[in-house]
C-alpha cells in the first residue's frame, strides 16, 4: 500500500476563524468541562479544522 503524502499547512490565526465555528468550539469546550455530550454536525474538512483550532486556542489561553 502506498502512503499518502501529508500536506503541512500554516496554523490558522484566531482572526481567520469564522464566528460560527468559534462559537461551536466554545460550546464544545464548555460542555467538556461539564462532562456533557455534544452533537457535532457534519462539516467539511476546512470547517472542522477551524473548530479544532478554536479548541486548541481555548485550551491554551483559558
pLDDT one-digit tens code per residue, 14-23: 899 999 999 9
Q: What is the pLDDT of residues 27-44, one digit of tens each?
A: 999 999 899 999 999 999
Cell of 54: 478554536
Question: Per-residue confidence at 5, pLDDT binned at 50, 70, 90?
Answer: very high
**Sign of the alpha-carbon dihedral angle for 5, 6, 10, 16:** positive
> How high does pLDDT run on average in the chain?
90
- Measured CA to CA, the distance from residue 24 to residue 26 in angstroms comes to 5
Residue 47, pLDDT > 60, answer yes
Q: 19-33 vs 45-61: helix axis angle to the nearest 10? A: 50
Q: Name the pTM for this structure.
A: 0.77
Amino acid at each position: 500500500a502506498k502512503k499518502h503524502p501529508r500536506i503541512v499547512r500554516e496554523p490558522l490565526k484566531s482572526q481567520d476563524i469564522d464566528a460560527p465555528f468559534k462559537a461551536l468550539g466554545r460550546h464544545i469546550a464548555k460542555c467538556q468541562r461539564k462532562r456533557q455530550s455534544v452533537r457535532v454536525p457534519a462539516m467539511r474538512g476546512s470547517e472542522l479544522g477551524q473548530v479544532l483550532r478554536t479548541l486548541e486556542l481555548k485550551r491554551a489561553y483559558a
